[in-house]
Amino acid sequence: MWLALGSNLGDRAAYLQSAREALPGAGITLLRTSRVVDTAPIGVEDQPRFLNQVLEVETSLEPRPLLDAIKAVERQVGRIARQRWGPREIDIDILRYGGRSVDEPGLHIPHAELQNRPFLLELLEDVEAR
């Protein structure tokens, strides 16, 4: 399974680190990480740049409970609800869940925008090469 981390507010690197450190407490084991890259915002472009990273993880959680767990980690790390696609302290997305496809309200796996974000595809390759 692969997760994406992103942050564009405050100490972006610290938010990524805090999210990585909080995952095990949510039942998510970190296996490998990509490098961290600085990227321009997509969608709402009038906001700060992002730091992004992809993680390979494993968990016994099914997709919906995994989504609930990563949303809880976002809140624990300090995410404040704002406008969709807007600035955020931390964002955690499920990119892929093995070979499974999920298309439910609020949950799309593989991530619906994965093919539109070349930096995520590059980071997936990066983590798989490590």
Is 79 catalytic? The answer is yes
Of 12, 20, 88, 96, catalytic: 88
Tokens 């790390």 locate to 77
Task: Write out the H or E segment, with its range, that includes residue 5.
Answer: strand 2-7
Burial 85-104 (b: 16+ CB within 10 A, else e): eebbbbbbbbbbbeeeeeee
Of 35, 64, 68, 79, catalytic: 79
Is 88 catalytic? The answer is yes
Of 12, 20, 91, 96, catalytic: 91
Of 11, 93, 100, 130, catalytic: 93
Strand 107-109 to strand 102-104: parallel, antiparallel, or no bridges (unpaired)?
Answer: antiparallel
Contact yes or no for 105/78 (Cβ under 8 A): no
Is 49 catalytic? The answer is no
State the burial class of residue 23 (Cβ atoms within 10 Å of its Cβ: 0-12, 13-18, 19+).
buried
Is 38 catalytic? The answer is no
- What single-letter DSSP state applies at residue 8? -
**Catalytic annotation, residues:** 79, 88, 91, 93
